[in-house]
Amino acid sequence: MADAWIYSAEPARGARMAAQVAELGFSPRLVEANGDLRPSESDGVAGRPPDLAVVIGDEALCERLRDDVAFADVPIVLSILPEDLGERVPVGEELLIPPFTAAELEARIVRARHQLGGGEEARCVEAGGMRVDLVTYQVTVGGEPVDFAFKEYELLRFLVTHPGRVFSREALLNRVWGYDYYGGARTVDVHVRRLRAKLGSEHAGRIRTVRGVGYRFDL
Amino acid sequence: MRAETDYVMRVVEEREVRFVRLWFVDVVGSLKSLSVPVSELEPALVEGVGLDGSAIEARTRGRERDVYAWPDPGSFQILPWTKPRVARMCCDLRTPAGEPFAGDSRQALRGVLDQAADLGLTLQVGCEIEFFLFANDGDGNGPPAPLDNGSYFDLTVQDVVSDFDRRAIEHLEQMGIPVTASHHEVAPSQHEIHLKHTDPLSMADAITTFRIVVKEVARDLGLFATFMPKPLDGLSGSGMHLHLSLYEGEENLFFDTEGDSPGGRGRPFLAGLLAHAAETAAVSNQWVNSYKRIAAAIEAPTHVNWSRNGANALVRLPSGRPGQQDSARLELRSPDAAANPYLLFALVLGAGLRGIERGYELGAEAGAEGSGEAALPGDLGEATALFDASELARETLGDRLCDWFAANKRAEWDAYRATVTDFDRDRYLRWL
């Protein structure tokens, strides 16, 4: 599992962030910001750099990470409260400004990875004749482009990148919308219906309704 | 840059979109559009686009006001019939200081949706929209030619109609508006399309989009489409029946758990809808012509009542599938598709919420003893006077929108009253 190290002077915010990156499949680890940038306990994890570093509120720490060759290939996301954004907006890092959705956090991580030139890994999901390019946001069915509104795309992206898993409507609402939208959890149903219509009969069935539970994407 | 904005910019680039149309509506719901070349899109997303606010007052334009259209990046859609590609974004209107603009219908609806959300309630709306398709021939004067006059190209009516359906549905689905269509039996050229239920803001955007898609597709086929509520004498008019479901969390409040309490826990909402139907008629039926559909009473309600079976009731409670919560709903049958959907939904929701907040009692079902049915306004003049005096409308929409709307409608009514019509001439010219 991918490791995420979280640097925070405030334990509560650090813990919240840990839960959020864990949701995205990372194994989170809180790191003391005043140490040598590595977790204090040496249980093997510390032996190699993490797959992601999230720094909460401390721009100077980002610079220290940047200067450390061991972290050269580590994507860094800086989370900064809107009120802490001073005259000078930090430009070196991928910025995350609370409140944010899980989808946004995920997007920031992808972008942070891209800034390192590490975007060559498979950023594309294919299922039959359907192709979702996660970098260009372009979806094609049988080679023909299909256009989506942002939330439709976000829902599709989430489903295709987590195939075979059943998600409740509430979980999908939280992941993609991040807050209770005007339509409540029914918004998810509405968007699933739109996705199915746009994907066409051949692929509509890949988004399976799991009765009484939620939805699942089948590759 | 926020993720949504990022998405829009990338799609514009990948799909070679040339222009983005920024959509908003004026006080009567007519679509207004500003075209922005993609080179100007990024600043438009960050700073909005300035426009002359008096355009939003519709025909009673007054003083100029600075207003900014702020595109809602979530509404970005490529218009499927355009080549080279053009996209649209629905806009909120703000003042130069970035505050919501008091004359913006979309913001008014957002305000009521926020109130509902504060009460833990969400409304889902489905629509049945009727309209007429006419052959685009003649000089535009005189009655329009229905499609079944046998002279239309060398295609049969059925060919044209199925072609229309296929294209319209394809475009609407591509724009994220799921639909089902049915050719209407009642009047020869009349059509009905159902928009599947969604939240009120998405539905209002969808109706606005729907009207332009239907007109575009009709034009492509050499036809024209009209949402005029009553285009032909003696035949049914075009309505827009709303199917409403009200949820508290997962619970549909209109679901009758006991089986003997129509409307379920949502009865006060229904009572509110009925209690304020007359004063909100100017919005649900906003044109002089709207009242000709109602006066003809062909499948259109004339009185404030509710019923489980009666075809002509203002609100019908369709018998949902037993035990199926999601199918429980109210059908509001007075509105027509030429309404401003943002104001309409704001008032529908506002009236229902007031019923809940003040614990309105639901009267007896139509036909039953003591149902005490009041008549809906008989014309735009009466409706406008009731609207102008409506405390609910002022509280829900704000004074700015109410004043503009009422001024607009009074002007329309006055113009109508001063017009000598075909009716006058046919009846009186030789006789008197």
In DSSP notation, B40-70 reads: GHHHHHHH-EEEEGGGGGTTS--S--EEEEE
CA distance B53 to chain A (A): 27
* Residues A137, B173: C-beta atoms closer than 8 Å: no
B41-A91-A98 Cα angle (round to 5): 80
- B5, B9, B14, best to mutate vs chain A, most A CBs in 10 Å: B14
Q: Is the pLDDT assigned to residue A180 strictly greater than 80?
A: no
Return the pLDDT at A122.
Answer: 59
Do the chains contact at B178 and A137, CB–CB below 8 Å? no
Over its C-alpha atoms, chain B yields an Rg (Å, rounded) of 22
Question: Residues B88, B35: contact at Cβ < 8 Å?
Answer: no
Tell me the chain A residues in contact with residue B197 when contact means C-beta distances shorter than 8 Å: 190
- pLDDT for position A181: 64
Query: What pLDDT, in 10s, does the model give residues A53-76?
Result: 999 888 888 888 877 767 777 888
Share of chain A above pLDDT 70, in %: 86
Please check whether residue A137 is in contact with residue B13, taking contact to mean a CB–CB distance below 8 angstroms: no
Q: Are the beta carbons of B247 and A184 separated by less than 8 Å?
A: yes
Residue A203 three-state SS: helix
Handedness of CA A193, B210, B409, B384 (dihedral sign): negative
**pLDDT score, position B150:** 45
- Give the ipTM: 0.86
Selected residue with higher pLDDT from B157 and A127: A127
How is residue B189 annotated by DSSP?
T
Check whether A45 has a pLDDT greater than 60: no
The whole-angstrom distance between B248's CA and the closest CA on chain A is 9
Q: Taking 80 as the threshold, does the pLDDT of residue A91 lie above it?
A: no
Buried b (16+ CB within 10 A) or exposed e, B110-125: bbbbebbeeeebbbbb
All residues of chain B having their beta carbon less than 8 Å from the beta carbon of residue A152 are 176
Kind and range of the H or E run holding A147: none
Q: Which residues does B392 contact at the CB level (< 8 Å), separation at least 6?
A: B276, B279, B280, B347, B350, B351, B354
Instruction: Tally Cβ neighbours within 10 Å of residue A210.
Output: 11
Q: Does A153 touch chain B (CB under 8 A)?
A: yes
Q: Are B96 and A173 in contact (CB under 8 A)?
A: no
What's the gap in Å between the CA of B340 and the closest CA on chain A? 20
| Contact status of A202 with chain B (Cβ, < 8 Å) | no
Which pTM was predicted? 0.80
Whether the per-residue pLDDT at A118 is higher than 60: the answer is no
Going residue by residue through chain B, which has 432 residues, state the pLDDT in tens, using 9 for 90 and above.
478 899 999 999 999 999 999 999 999 999 999 999 999 999 999 899 998 877 787 766 656 578 999 999 999 999 998 889 999 999 999 998 889 999 999 999 999 999 999 999 999 999 999 999 888 766 666 677 777 654 444 456 677 778 888 999 999 999 999 888 777 666 668 889 999 999 999 999 999 999 999 999 999 988 889 999 999 888 889 999 999 999 998 889 998 877 777 788 899 999 999 999 999 999 999 999 999 999 887 788 999 999 987 778 999 998 766 667 778 899 999 999 999 999 999 999 999 999 999 999 999 888 777 677 899 999 999 999 999 999 999 999 999 999 999 999 999 999 999 999 999 999 999 999
The rounded radius of gyration (Å) of the Cα atoms in chain A is 19
Q: What single-letter amino acid sits at B359?
A: G
**Dist. CA B259–CA B413, nearest whole Å:** 45
Interface A-B: count of C-beta contacts within 8 A: 79
Residue A119: pLDDT band (50, 70, 90) is: very low
- Are B25 and B342 in contact by the 8 Å Cβ rule? The answer is yes
Is residue A41 pLDDT above 70, yes or no? no
Q: How far is CA B367 from the centre of its chain?
A: 29
pLDDT band at A35 (very low <50, low <70, confident <90, very high): low
**Predicted confidence (pLDDT) per residue in A98-114, tens digit:** 888 888 888 888 888 77
- Write down the pLDDT at residue B309: 79
- In which element (H, E) is residue B356 found? helix B341-357
The distance from CA A17 to its chain's CA centroid, rounded to whole angstroms, is: 12
